[in-house]
């Protein structure tokens, strides 16, 4: 079997041009090519079954581009999705093969220029590729970013995977990509899909579109707290962060997700956001597998502080013992804290939330100590 003379000639002429990317519409048997002059279409005239003919076209492209008729080795899918392709030249060649998995390999490359990203997006626009491209600073800084964001926002109402919802929201909320009205609209969507809240907690924990006020305790202890904050005391800084209006909004949102979280992926992402929120607190560098263990460690540190800055904070703020204890306990929460529960169940929805109550109920009590 071989290509028709007409297709062979037209494809060879096509490949003599300055090609940027190629994609094949296998259902309509059309080869689309992006060149320096614009888009070109070649309608195929098969001489055998459609699938076999498309394979012949890919062999021709591979022969011309890479010197091998074997085409792109799609069987190494896992390898390419781990971002093993690195050289700009080899990445550009992959976009000329008309093979979707080769485009995915380009998208997953650890370093990708904005121009190649645009060619890859033209080759295979999908939510997965849009999310992967928005992870790259070069793409976020380019004009392509806005197109990717609009694509993800348009598809978000139809997204079924909660992990993908969280990632779409997190990536779209990167600075400078959304207008204020779009941020408010996305926040409103979160009321119907709680997982979107987690995207906010990851990307803008201190700037949530939630109406809240500072805990009155903050004003009552401002005189003693401000000198510690000015000196850079991490415990005082985190305490001030929690008691501020932004911190109160963060805590209320955490409670919302705990109350309505639908999947294990949502809860895991929530605990990851909570862990990130405490990154500056020294004690929070070590996460605990159980809430009880976190309580014991926090109480031990309060009784005999192993950190001079914590001792300074405790001495200067005698009226905030409960709040400081809550900070220390919550700071030790992380993905590892979920292991003893999620390691023995694959439950979702209300059943999952019931299994989580031995952890989330005492967590909520500590969060309430920090809320007004």
Q: pLDDT, tens digit, for every residue of 207-265?
A: 999 989 999 999 999 999 999 999 999 999 999 999 999 999 999 999 999 999 999 99
Q: Which residue has the higher pLDDT, 24 or 68?
A: 24
Q: What crossing angle do the helices spanning 245-260 and 349-370 adopt, rounded to 10°?
A: 160
pTM (predicted TM-score): 0.89
3-state SS of the chain: helix, strand, coil percent to 5? Answer: 65, 5, 30
CB atoms within 10 A of CB 25: 14
User: In whole angstroms, what is the distance from residue 131 CA to residue 121 CA?
Assistant: 11
Ranges of H-type helices in 38-96? 50-66, 77-81, 88-94
Q: For position 171, what pLDDT does the model report?
A: 98
Q: For position 110, what pLDDT does the model report?
A: 87
Report residue 79's pLDDT band, with 50, 70 and 90 as the boundaries.
very low
Judge whether 248 and 339 are in contact, CB under 8 Å: no
Whether 84 shows a pLDDT value over 70: the answer reads no
Q: Of 63-72, 98-107, 286-295, which gets the smallest average pLDDT?
A: 63-72
Quote the percentage of the chain above a pLDDT of 90.
Answer: 84
Count Cα neighbours of 113 within 13 Å in the Cβ-side half-sphere. Answer: 9
Q: For position 246, what pLDDT does the model report?
A: 97
Q: Of 74-78, 84-88, 232-236, 348-352, which gets the smallest average pLDDT?
A: 74-78
User: In whole angstroms, what is the distance from residue 60 CA to residue 67 CA?
Assistant: 9
Q: For position 75, what pLDDT does the model report?
A: 45
User: In whole angstroms, what is the distance from residue 140 CA to residue 146 CA?
Assistant: 8
Q: For position 211, what pLDDT does the model report?
A: 87
Closest C-alpha to 206, from 257, 268, 254, 249:
249
Whether 330 shows a pLDDT value over 70: the answer reads yes
Beta 30-35 vs 38-43: how paired, if at all? antiparallel
CB under 8 A, 24+ apart: contacts of 312-315? 312/228, 312/233, 313/228, 313/233, 313/235, 313/236, 313/239
Q: pLDDT, tens digit, for every residue of 121-179?
A: 999 999 999 999 999 999 999 999 999 999 999 999 999 999 999 999 999 999 999 99
Report residue 306's pLDDT band, with 50, 70 and 90 as the boundaries.
confident
Quote the percentage of the chain above a pLDDT of 70.
Answer: 94
Whether 78 shows a pLDDT value over 90: the answer reads no
The SS3 of residue 108 is coil
Q: For position 283, what pLDDT does the model report?
A: 86
User: In whole angstroms, what is the distance from residue 336 CA to residue 321 CA?
Assistant: 26
Q: For position 81, what pLDDT does the model report?
A: 53
Range 185-192 average pLDDT: 94
Range 16-29 average pLDDT: 94
Strand (E) positions, the chain?
Answer: 19-25, 30-35, 38-43
Closest C-alpha to 171, from 200, 191, 144:
200
Whether 180 shows a pLDDT value over 60: the answer reads yes
Whether 82 shows a pLDDT value over 60: the answer reads no
Report residue 65's pLDDT band, with 50, 70 and 90 as the boundaries.
confident
Q: pLDDT, tens digit, for every residue of 264-292?
A: 999 999 999 999 999 999 988 899 999 99
Two tokens, residue 164: 């993908």
Task: Give whole-number Cα distances, 321 to 285, 299, 366, in Å.
Answer: 21, 11, 12
Q: What is the CA radius of gyration of the chain?
A: 27
Report residue 365's pLDDT band, with 50, 70 and 90 as the boundaries.
very high
């Amino acid at each position: 079997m071989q290509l028709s003379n007409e297709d062979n000639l037209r494809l060879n002429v096509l490949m003599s041009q300055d090609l940027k990317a190629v994609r094949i519409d296998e259902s309509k048997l059309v080869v689309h090519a992006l060149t320096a002059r614009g888009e070109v279409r070649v309608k195929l005239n098969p001489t055998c079954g459609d699938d076999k003919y498309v394979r012949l076209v890919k062999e021709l492209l591979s022969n011309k581009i890479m010197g091998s008729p074997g085409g792109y080795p799609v069987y190494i899918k896992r390898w390419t999705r781990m971002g093993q392709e690195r050289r700009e030249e080899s990445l550009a060649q992959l976009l000329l093969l008309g093979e979707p998995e080769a485009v995915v390999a380009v998208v997953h490359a650890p370093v990708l220029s904005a121009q190649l990203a645009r060619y890859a997006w033209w080759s295979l626009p999908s939510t997965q590729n849009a999310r992967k491209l928005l992870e790259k600073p070069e793409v976020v800084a380019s004009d392509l970013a806005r197109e990717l964001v609009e694509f993800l926002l348009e598809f978000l109402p139809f997204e079924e995977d909660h992990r993908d919802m969280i990632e779409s929201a997190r990536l779209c909320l990167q600075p400078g990509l959304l207008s204020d009205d779009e941020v408010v609209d996305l926040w409103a969507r979160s009321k119907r899909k709680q997982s979107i809240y987690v995207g906010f907690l990851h990307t803008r924990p201190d700037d949530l579109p939630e109406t809240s006020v500072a805990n009155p305790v903050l004003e009552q202890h401002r005189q003693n707290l401000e000198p510690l904050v000015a000196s850079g005391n991490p415990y005082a800084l985190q305490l001030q962060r929690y008691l501020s209006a932004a911190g109160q909004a963060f805590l209320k949102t955490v409670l919302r997700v705990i109350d309505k979280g639908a999947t294990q992926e949502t809860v895991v992402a929530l605990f990851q956001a909570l862990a990130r929120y405490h990154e500056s607190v020294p004690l929070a560098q070590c996460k605990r597998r159980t809430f009880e263990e976190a309580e014991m460690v926090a109480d031990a540190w309060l009784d005999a502080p192993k950190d001079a800055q914590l001792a300074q904070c405790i001495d200067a703020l005698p009226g905030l013992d409960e709040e400081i204890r809550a900070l220390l306990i919550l700071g030790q929460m992380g993905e590892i804290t979920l292991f003893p529960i999620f390691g023995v169940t694959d439950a979702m929805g209300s059943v999952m939330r019931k299994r989580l109550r031995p952890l989330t109920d005492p967590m909520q009590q500590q969060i309430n100590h920090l809320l007004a």
